Amino acid sequence: MIGSDTAEAAEHIRERVLSGQAWQGEFPIPRKDGPPLLSYTTLSPIRDEAGGVSGIVSVSVDITDRVHQEQLLAARTMVTRTLAEATDLAEATPRIMAAVCENLGWEVGALWRVDDVAGVARWRRGG
């Protein structure tokens, strides 16, 4: 199912192309099962002999994996930078959690450390 924001955006793009303007950009395409795929789409009007728009040519490329890889790289870069600049893990933890959550679109993140003495993993607070 397509969300109302996406449906409104699609309608705006359709109207633009039918008025004779080309459009290109990233656009989520819904799937019957699973999350939508993110596409880079180019839409171009096809003109008839009188100059009116008689159709639309559309080319879409699935960029879901590429975008996800870019998000992972951004998160990894921020974590590395944070660890390099911090004096200890307690100082770095809130910034690490923020970097990972912001770049990957997560609402919540948690850091667990191994307590060698107790032989268990313990949740590390972000502050």
11-57: per-residue pLDDT in tens? 999 899 999 999 999 988 888 888 889 999 999 999 999 999 999 99
pLDDT for the residue 91: 87
Token pair, residue 36, equals: 């939508």
3-state secondary structure of 104: helix
Mean pLDDT of all residues in 100-117: 89
Specify the CATH number for 4-62; select among 3.40.50.2300, 3.50.50.60, 3.30.70.930, 3.30.450.20. 3.30.450.20
Nearest Cα neighbor of 26 from 42, 3, 2, 15 is 42
What is the distance between the alpha carbons of residues 9 and 49, in angstroms, rounded to a whole number? Answer: 29
pLDDT for the residue 90:
82
User: Where are the CATH 3.30.450.20 domain residues in the chain?
Assistant: 4-62
Rounded distance between C-alpha atoms, residue 44 and residue 53, angstroms = 10
**Mean pLDDT across 79-108:** 91
pLDDT at 6 over 80: no
- Give Cα 105 to chain centroid, integer Å: 7
Helix orientation angle between 89-104 and 64-85, rounded to the nearest 10 degrees: 170
pTM for this entry: 0.63
The amino acid that residue 84 corresponds to is A
